[in-house]
Copies of this chain bind each other. A is one copy, B any other.
Amino acid sequence: MNVQTNAVPAGFIALPFKGDEHFLSLTGPLYAKRDGEKLVLGFRVEQRHCNIGGICHGGMLMTFADMQLGLGARFDSEEDIGFMPTVSMTADFLAPAPLGAWVEGRTDLLRSTRNFLFCQCIVTSNGSPAMRASGIMKSGGAPSNLKGLPNLRTLLK
């Protein structure tokens, strides 16, 4: 199979996490672009992301959705909230993301309160829906100046 694992669609840049973000260094990089007022994340399914069925492991898709929810909701919100721990996340696996597929996601911020962001996202594989996820992120009281957290609005002007 001819898998172009380095092929990243035009407009995407690698998420510039510093060395402190070890799990995304291990499993990523993830890529980001701005689409109007939306943050779009993406990655290409490589062999290292796959399960024994030869498709992207659910753990990798949930890792991606967790980032798409948190960073996407943060991008949607009016102020820069900084690091937001996930309180709860639900993922529905609609279709597999096969080896070589380009995966990307878009987030809708449904409600922002003093303490929580309620959001949902659709993750696609080669343009077709592969996962629906919803998340509750904690926005109040978390440290906002953690090292290594990029300001995506500044970066993706």
Contacts and interface: CB of A to CB of B under 8 A. Distances in A.
Interface of A: 17-18, 20-27, 47-54, 56-60, 62-64, 66-67, 83, 85-93, 96, 143, 146-149
Contact of A52 (B49, B66, B83): B83
A111 to B, nearest CB: 19
Given A20-B52, A23-B59, A59-B66, 19 more contacts: A20-B54, A21-B52, A22-B47, A22-B48, A22-B49, A22-B50, A23-B48, A23-B50, A23-B60, A25-B48, A53-B146, A58-B66, A58-B85, A59-B60, A59-B62, A59-B67, A62-B91, A86-B93, A88-B92
Given A92-B87, A93-B85, A59 B63 contact: yes
